[in-house]
Structure 1
Amino acid sequence: MEWKLLATVFASVFIAEMADKTQLVTMLFAADRDVSRWTVFLGAAAALVLTSAIGVAAGAVLSEVINPRIMSLLAGSGFIVIGAWVLWQAIHGGA
């Protein structure tokens, strides 16, 4: 097993998921005193596993068609565009 890659992926996904909409929705479900916390945990964990599996499968398929370097450039550019848009909205009162 590639421990460095495992740690990098874990840290990246952990940071990306921390305090996002998914975690907030999960917290709202768990805050209900009438629900099982284990059921909420298992449902949320299964959803994250499934979305991760879809991401891995899509990345594997796309890497057969698109050079991984190009994929990285596109993903990085996408994040820059999204960040610029969020900043634009914040500066111009949209956020």
Structure 2
Amino acid sequence: MLKTIITTFLIVFVAELGDKTQLQTMLLATQSKSIWPVFIGASLALILSSIIGVLAGTFLTKYIPPSYLQNAAGVVFIVIGILTLSGKF
């Protein structure tokens, strides 16, 4: 269980570094008199999106094999990457 927690933490932490959400959060912090409301709001948003991801993954794996979900996620990431590089996303 501890291994799963550490692995999940590291994957999410590295994935979120330098992404547009973190940059937007930094900009909001520069405009706020107190950083705590920005920190609390960003933390709650990440918690909620994580809960949705966990619940959706748990639900989907009841009906779709995990290998199919992994392959689909890979294809979606590639498509998003191509669209981003081409300026259409």
Instruction: Indicate the TM-score class for this superposition, using the shorter chain for normalisation.
Output: 0.7 to 0.9
Q: What's the counterpart of residue 62 of structure 1?
A: 60
4+ aligned runs moved over 6 Å, structure 1: none
Q: CA deviation at 1:81?
A: 2.7
Q: Is the partner of 1:16 in helix, strand or coil? A: helix
Question: Could you tell me how far 1:84 is from its partner in structure 2?
Answer: 3.7
Q: Unaligned 5+ residue runs, structure 2?
A: none
Question: RMSD in angstroms over aligned alpha carbons?
Answer: 1.7
Gaps of 5+ in 1: none
Structure number, greater radius of gyration? 1
Structure 1 window deviating more from structure 2 (43-52 vs 17-26): it is 17-26
- What number of residue pairs does the alignment pair up? 88
Normalised TM-score (structure 1) = 0.80
TM-score normalized with structure 2 length: 0.85
Match of 2:47 in 1: 49
State the identity as a percent.
Answer: 49
Q: What secondary structure is seen at the aligned counterpart in 2 of 1:66?
A: coil
